[in-house]
Amino acid sequence: MRCAIYTRKSSEEGLEQEFNSLDAQRESGEAYIASQKNEGWSCLPDRYDDGGFTGGNMDRPAVKRLMADIEAGKIDCVLVYKVDRLSRSLLDFARMMAVFEKHHIAFVSVADLHERLAKANERARAIRSEAVQIEGEAFTRDDVAAALGKFGATWDVLCPREQAAVLANLVKRVDYDGAKKTVAITFPLDRAHDAWQGTD
């Protein structure tokens, strides 16, 4: 996978520094490519840096060279630090994505990817924590009944689909009837009552 890193900064301020914003953006891309080395990813040596150019149009030398190299079949993947580095124009971005799709170019926004992964991991941890708590507290007949009782008024305001999602942590089977707006809960026979019916 031949990877090109595109960087951009709207103003020229700070570009004279030995390590500037463009370098930082490229470094993040290089780090991600390195993490995918086992998948066959490699970083192309050519730099596509637009320093002092707005992302509101395509009149940028590096982005033009990037698109030309894509058309020439020299690139398999384009990485940016954030999506707005590639373009701040929805129309231009859509046109570029059409070219990417035509030439089967993968597109990675490193910062946005990290943010999504962080949110996914946070949610996964919360789900695991809740599941462990439920598992530890609610796996006998009495404990399941007590766990259901803990929902109180909060449980009453949940719609059947939400009730099904909560109870899925405790039960053997959940059946939701959208037409009747009912949810049927089947508990393991050795842990709770055979069935529980609820309506909104």
Regarding whether 87 and 18 lie in a shared domain, the answer is yes
Q: What is the CATH number of the domain that holds 44?
A: 3.40.50.1390
pLDDT of residue 192: 39
Residue 12: pLDDT over 80: yes
CA distance 182 to 200: 7
In a domain, 122, yes or no: no
Q: What pLDDT is recorded for position 59? A: 94
Give the separation between CA 156 and CA 159, rounded to whole angstroms. Answer: 8
Residue 120: inside a domain: no
Q: How far apart are CA 38 and CA 36, in angstroms?
A: 5
Q: Do 105 and 195 share a domain, yes or no? A: no
DSSP track, the chain: -EEEEEEEESS-TTTTSSS-HHHHHHHHHHHHHHHTGGGT-EE-S--EEEET--SSSS--HHHHHHHHHHHTT--SEEEESSHHHH-S-HHHHHHHHHHHHHTT-EEEEHHHHHHHHHHHHHHHHHHHHHHHHHHHH--SHHHHHHHHHTTHHHHHHS-HHHHHHHHTTT-SEEEEETTTTEEEEE--TTTS-SEEEEE-
Q: Do 17 and 76 share a domain, yes or no?
A: yes
Q: Tokens representing 27?
A: 């470094």
pLDDT tens, residue by residue, 142-169: 555 555 555 554 455 556 665 656 555 5
Q: What is the mean pLDDT of the chain?
A: 75
Is 93 in the same domain as 11?
A: yes
Residue 128 covered by a domain: no
Please tell me whether residues 18 and 83 are part of one structural domain: yes
Q: Is the pLDDT of residue 135 over 80?
A: no
The answer to whether residue 32 is domain-embedded is yes
The predicted-structure confidence for 88-134, as pLDDT tens digits, reads as follows 898 899 999 999 999 999 998 888 776 666 666 666 566 555 555 55
pLDDT tens-digit map of 27-61: 999 998 998 899 899 999 999 999 999 999 999 99
What range does the domain containing 93 cover? 2-113
Structurally, how many domains does the chain consist of? 2
Greatest Cα pair distance, the chain, in angstroms, is: 73
- Report yes or no on whether pTM surpasses 0.75: no
- Does residue 177 share a domain with residue 100? no
Torsional sign, CA 96, 100, 105, 111: positive
For residues 96 and 164, state if they share a domain: no
**Domain assignment of residue 125, yes or no:** no
Higher pLDDT, 114 or 80: 80
